[in-house]
Amino acid sequence: MSHANSNACDVKSKMLTQWHPEDPQFWAESGKTIANRNLWISIPCLLLSFCVWMLFSAVAVNLNQVGFHFSTDQLFLLTALPAVSGAIGRIPYAFIVPVVGGRKWTVFSTLILTIPCLWLAYAVEHPDTPFEQFVMIALLCGIAGANFASSMANISFFYPKEQQGKALGLNGGLGNLGVSVMQLVVPLVVSAGVFGGLSTGVIQPSGKVLYLANAALVWVPLLCILSVVAWFGMNDLKSAQTSIKAQLPVLKEPHLWGLSILYLATFGSFIGFSAGFSMLSKTQFPAHDILSYMFFGPLVGALARPLGGALSDRLGGIRVTLVNFVVMAILTGAVFVTLPSASSQGSFYLFFATFMGLFAASGLGSGSTFQMIAVIFRKISLSKAAKQGMTPEISLRKASTDTAAALGFISAIGAIGGFFIPRAFGLSLSLTGSPLTAMKVFLIFYVGCVFITWFVYGRNLDRLATKKAAAKV
Mean pLDDT, range 37-48, rounded to an integer: 96
Considering only CA atoms, which of 195, 196, 465 is closest in space to residue 314? 465
CA distance 21 to 30: 9
pLDDT of residue 472: 39
pLDDT of residue 290: 75
- 366-387 pLDDT, tens digit per residue, is 989 878 887 787 777 777 777 7
**Please, which pLDDT band fits residue 161 given cuts at 50, 70 and 90?**
confident
Three-state secondary-structure class, residue 203 = strand
pLDDT of residue 473: 38
Mean pLDDT, range 12-41, rounded to an integer: 87
Contact 255, 34 (CB under 8 A): no
pLDDT of residue 9: 38
Provide the CA 125 distance to its chain's centre, in angstroms: 29
Residue 171 contacts by C-beta under 8 Å, 6 or more apart in sequence? 39, 42, 43, 46, 151, 152, 155
- In this prediction the pTM is 0.77
pLDDT of residue 462: 45
**Please, which pLDDT band fits residue 205 given cuts at 50, 70 and 90?**
low
pLDDT over 90 for what percent of the chain?
A: 36
Residue 440 has pLDDT above 80, yes or no: yes
Task: Report the CATH number at residue 196.
Answer: 1.20.1250.20
Task: Give domain status of residue 1, yes or no.
Answer: no
- 225-264 pLDDT, tens digit per residue, is 999 999 999 999 886 666 666 666 667 777 888 889 999 9
- 441-462 pLDDT, tens digit per residue, is 999 999 999 999 998 887 664 4
Task: Give domain status of residue 2, yes or no.
Answer: no
Rg of the Cα atoms in the chain: 22
pLDDT of residue 200: 67
pLDDT of residue 176: 81
Mean pLDDT, range 118-146, rounded to an integer: 94
Mean pLDDT, range 59-77, rounded to an integer: 88
- 313-343 pLDDT, tens digit per residue, is 788 888 899 999 999 999 999 999 999 887 8
Please count the CA atoms within 13 angstroms of the CA of 436 that sit on its side-chain side. 11
CA distance 448 to 84: 24
- The range of the structural domain enclosing residue 32 comes to 8-471
To the nearest 10 degrees (0 to 180), the angle between helices 392-415 and 348-387 is: 150
Task: Give domain status of residue 359, yes or no.
Answer: yes
Write down the mean pLDDT value for the chain. 84
DSSP state of 236: E
Q: Give the number of domains in the chain.
A: 1
Residue 233 contacts by C-beta under 8 Å, 6 or more apart in sequence? 37, 38, 41
Mean pLDDT, range 48-74, rounded to an integer: 89
DSSP state of 438: H
CA distance 299 to 284: 22
Task: Give domain status of residue 433, yes or no.
Answer: yes
Task: Give domain status of residue 3, yes or no.
Answer: no
Task: Give domain status of residue 401, yes or no.
Answer: yes
Residue 301 has pLDDT above 80, yes or no: yes
